[in-house]
């Protein structure tokens, strides 16, 4: 059935019908209503189908996905580790997954990075491949099985890094459109200087891409890292509203921050549903 | 001279006006005779003094080995596989196709994004998703589609390899419990996708169920005006 033109369903159509006798009016409005109903149903069906297409986990996976995002040195890995321990010790079904860790793709990625074979585009695509592998083999099955999946970095890391490297933001977002949105995304918002000094004070050996040396801003890896992280931080700040990040200000101790994380998690997720089934 | 353009957003920081070569794509299933035609065309073009470069699928320095391994095991999910192939494609696009076009070569592509898109869509990827994924690709100067019937393809595959290929038979899709039926069904599904692409992307369909020589003649008559409109062979009809 073709959707009806607007004027036939809205007020103007009824005004036009005023010229007919009441019987005809009744009959017509009955058909209009009937057709209208069918139309509404079709519209609902179509939007439902759209959702299915957009969200590969349309059947509301029983699991929950919690992601942490933020700069290196922002404290996110420490916090998600402590969250994991807390959930595990209560006997929850929990699984931890890390960015850039798919075994299969790792070989290609590390070879490519060592030989500096990557451009902005292939850097983006090879990380998307890595993510897709973990997503299809771990994240989706675990969510379907009712696990709480904890992700140390998620697609937002790609959005930030790839855009800084010069890729089109919409292109990057569309590539990752197969991925489900996390139920909670904590954004560790430590000031740039804090994160930088946590990483740089130890004078570590920075890897080529990690330092953003591929961008050619400067040949000094430390200076390059500062510029790179600064730009990534800007990207994160820009995404805060777009993706409903839960901002974690870097005030206070590790303990108080963890308490905050735990409070939010237990408020927003019915944790009792994720207890491991134990035999008596 | 025709200005090159991208399908979508394209590649960051690239000056398209410097790409003076021609990108010619030849699409078609395994056994449709692509490689024979490419070899003959290369000879012909080189005889006329054109420099020719070749690209194809799974030939990147970046991930071709890993892709080959992944194919052996059938352990990758469909999205992972799509993106892996897209990585391979992007690497060749940036490191082979574009430099060759910049140097004024005629680039003969043994398959391009259309095969990759068709395979992905048959495996359940969204058309919109694949199209935006390949928004980085250059629009070719010409796309030829060697159309060959599924039965004919079976025969040629047996002649060439003595067997059907696991992936070209779409065995990962569970379409049938034997390779022959699966091959026929899979190739029909793929051709169904080519059908709409043919219109949307302006493929020149070349009937592949003919002799090598008559197919080649078709190719030449389409290519010559594009490559060199002043070529004397064009006027004399000596193809």
Q: What confidence tier does A264 reach under pLDDT thresholds 50, 70, 90?
A: very high
Residue B11 touches partner A, C-beta closer than 8 Å: yes
Question: How many angstroms separate the Cα of A104 from the Cα of each of A127, A131, B65, B84?
Answer: 12, 11, 12, 11
Sheet containing strand A246-248, edge to edge, reads A94-98, A148-152, A64-70, A184-188, A246-248
CA angle A68, A112, A230 (to 5 degrees): 40
Predicted local distance difference test score (pLDDT) of residue A276: 82
Predicted local distance difference test score (pLDDT) of residue A251: 72
Which residues in chain B touch residue A112, judged by CB atoms under 8 angstroms apart?
62-63
Q: Which phi and psi (to 5°) does residue A150 adopt?
A: -105, 125
Predicted local distance difference test score (pLDDT) of residue A279: 54
Which residues in chain B touch residue A120, judged by CB atoms under 8 angstroms apart?
12
- CA dist., res. B190 & res. B207, Å (int): 17
Give A166→chain B minimum CA distance, Å: 6
Residue A177: closest C-alpha in chain B? B129
State the DSSP code for A102: -
Which residues in chain A touch residue B136, judged by CB atoms under 8 angstroms apart?
121, 171
Predicted local distance difference test score (pLDDT) of residue A53: 41
Contact call for B90 and A135, based on CB within 8 A: no
Residue A122 touches partner B, C-beta closer than 8 Å: yes
Which residues in chain B touch residue A50, judged by CB atoms under 8 angstroms apart?
none
CA angle A109, A113, A114 (to 5 degrees): 120
CA angle A200, A203, A205 (to 5 degrees): 105
Q: What is the pLDDT of residues A170-215, one digit of tens each?
A: 999 999 999 999 999 999 999 999 999 888 887 788 888 889 998 9
Q: What confidence tier does A104 reach under pLDDT thresholds 50, 70, 90?
A: low
- CA dist., res. A11 & res. B39, Å (int): 68
Contact call for A135 and B79, based on CB within 8 A: yes
Give B8→chain A minimum CA distance, Å: 9
Q: Which residues contact B114 (CB under 8 A, 6 or more apart)?
A: B25, B27, B143, B194, B197, B201, B203
- Closest by CA to B14, choosing from B102, B142, B103, B107, is B102
Give A122→chain B minimum CA distance, Å: 6
Torsion of CA A112, B101, B56, B10, to 10 degrees: 60
- In the numeric block, which tokens belong to residue B217? 């003649």
Contact call for A117 and B91, based on CB within 8 A: yes
What average pLDDT does the segment A155-163 reach? Answer: 97
Which member of B78, B84, B133 has the closest CB to residue A175?
B133
Instruction: Say if residue A51's pLDDT is above 90.
Output: no
What average pLDDT does the segment A78-95 reach? Answer: 95
Contact call for A170 and B9, based on CB within 8 A: yes
- CA dist., res. B67 & res. B59, Å (int): 10
- CA dist., res. A92 & res. A72, Å (int): 28
Residue A108 touches partner B, C-beta closer than 8 Å: yes
Instruction: Say if residue A55's pLDDT is above 50.
Output: no
Substitution target in A50, A107, A108 with the highest count of B β-carbons within 10 Å is A108
**Average pLDDT, whole number, for chain A?**
81
Predicted local distance difference test score (pLDDT) of residue A46: 42
Residue B107 touches partner A, C-beta closer than 8 Å: no
Token look-up 């942490």 returns A68
Residue B74 touches partner A, C-beta closer than 8 Å: no
Provide the residue-wise pLDDT of chain B in tens; the chain has 239 residues.
568 999 998 998 888 999 999 999 999 988 889 999 999 999 999 999 999 999 999 888 888 888 888 777 767 889 999 999 999 999 999 999 999 999 999 999 999 999 999 999 999 999 999 999 999 999 999 999 999 888 888 888 888 888 888 888 999 899 999 999 999 999 999 999 999 999 999 999 999 999 999 999 999 999 999 998 888 887 766 66
Residue B69: closest C-alpha in chain A? A104
Which member of A108, A120, A178 has the closest CB to residue B12?
A120
The dihedral of CA B189, B195, B201, B205: what is its sign? positive
Give A192→chain B minimum CA distance, Å: 27
Contact call for B87 and A135, based on CB within 8 A: no
- CA dist., res. B192 & res. B36, Å (int): 25
What's the first-to-final CA gap in chain A, in angstroms?
A: 57
Residue B8: closest C-alpha in chain A? A171
B144: β partners: B26, B204
Task: Show the beta-strand stretches assigned E in B74-198.
Answer: 106-110, 142-147
Predicted local distance difference test score (pLDDT) of residue B239: 66
Which member of A121, A132, A177 has the closest CB to residue B80?
A132
Give B144→chain A minimum CA distance, Å: 27
Are A117 and B61 spatial neighbours (Cβ–Cβ below 8 Å)? yes
Other C-beta atoms lying within 10 Å of the C-beta of residue B89: 28
Q: What is the pLDDT of residues A136-151, one digit of tens each?
A: 999 999 999 999 999 9
Give A123→chain B minimum CA distance, Å: 9
pTM for the whole thing?
0.81
3-state secondary structure of A150: strand
Give the ipTM.
0.85
Task: Show the beta-strand stretches assigned E in chain A.
Answer: 64-70, 94-98, 148-152, 184-188, 246-248
Are B67 and B119 spatial neighbours (Cβ–Cβ below 8 Å)? no
Instruction: Say if residue A275's pLDDT is above 80.
Output: yes
Share of chain A above pLDDT 90, in %: 57
Instruction: Say if residue A61's pLDDT is above 90.
Output: no
- CA dist., res. A213 & res. B65, Å (int): 27
Q: Which residues contact B65 (CB under 8 A, 6 or more apart)?
A: A108
């Amino acid at each position: 059935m073709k959707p009806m033109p607007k004027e036939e369903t809205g007020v103007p159509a009824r005004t036009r019908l005023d010229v007919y006798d009441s019987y005809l009016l009744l009959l017509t409005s009955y058909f209009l209503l009937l057709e209208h109903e069918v139309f509404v149903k079709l519209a609902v069906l179509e939007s439902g189908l759209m959702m299915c297409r957009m969200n590969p986990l349309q059947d509301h996976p029983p699991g929950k996905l919690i992601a942490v995002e933020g700069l290196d040195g922002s404290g996110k890995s420490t916090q998600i580790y402590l969250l994991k321990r807390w959930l595990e010790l209560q006997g929850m079904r929990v699984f931890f997954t890390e960015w850039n860790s798919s075994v299969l793709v790792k070989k290609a990625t590390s070879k490519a990075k060592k030989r500096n074979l990557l451009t902005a585009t292939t850097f983006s695509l090879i990380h998307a491949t890595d993510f897709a592998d973990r997503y299809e083999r771990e994240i989706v099955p675990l969510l379907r099985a009712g696990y709480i999946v904890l992700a140390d970095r998620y697609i937002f890391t790609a959005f930030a890094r790839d855009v800084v490297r010069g890729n089109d933001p919409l292109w990057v977002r569309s590539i990752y459109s197969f991925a489900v949105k996390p139920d909670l995304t904590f954004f560790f918002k430590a000031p740039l200087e804090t994160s930088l000094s946590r990483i740089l004070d130890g004078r570590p050996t920075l890897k080529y891409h990690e330092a953003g040396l591929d961008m050619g801003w400067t040949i000094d890896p430390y200076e390059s890292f500062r510029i790179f992280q600064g730009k990534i931080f800007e990207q994160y700040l820009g995404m805060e509203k777009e993706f409903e990040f839960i901002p974690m200000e870097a005030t206070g101790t590790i303990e108080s921050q963890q308490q905050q994380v735990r409070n939010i998690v237990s408020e927003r997720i019915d944790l009792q549903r994720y207890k491991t089934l134990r035999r008596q | 001279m025709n200005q090159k353009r991208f399908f979508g957003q394209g590649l960051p920081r690239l000056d398209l006006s410097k790409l003076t070569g021609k990108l010619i794509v030849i699409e078609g299933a395994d056994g449709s005779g692509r490689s024979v035609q490419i070899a003959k065309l290369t000879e012909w073009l080189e005889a006329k003094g054109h420099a020719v470069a070749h690209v194809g699928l799974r030939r990147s320095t970046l991930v071709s080995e890993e892709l080959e391994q992944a194919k052996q095991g059938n352990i990758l999910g469909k999205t992972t596989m799509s993106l892996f192939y897209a990585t391979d494609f992007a690497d060749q696009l940036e490191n082979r196709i574009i430099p060759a076009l910049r140097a004024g070569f005629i680039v003969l592509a043994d398959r391009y994004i259309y095969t990759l898109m068709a395979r992905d869509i048959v495996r359940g990827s969204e058309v919109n998703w694949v199209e935006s994924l390949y928004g980085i690709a250059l629009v070719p100067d010409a796309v030829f589609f060697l159309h060959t019937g599924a039965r004919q393809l079976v025969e040629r595959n047996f002649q060439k390899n003595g067997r059907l290929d696991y992936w070209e038979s779409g065995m990962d899709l569970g379409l049938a419990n034997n390779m022959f039926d699966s091959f026929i069904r899979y190739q029909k599904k793929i051709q169904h996708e080519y059908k709409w692409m043919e219109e949307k992307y302006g493929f020149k369909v070349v009937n592949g169920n003919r002799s090598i020589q008559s197919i080649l003649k078709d190719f030449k008559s389409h290519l010559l005006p594009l490559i060199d409109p002043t070529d004397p062979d064009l006027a004399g009809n000596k193809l």
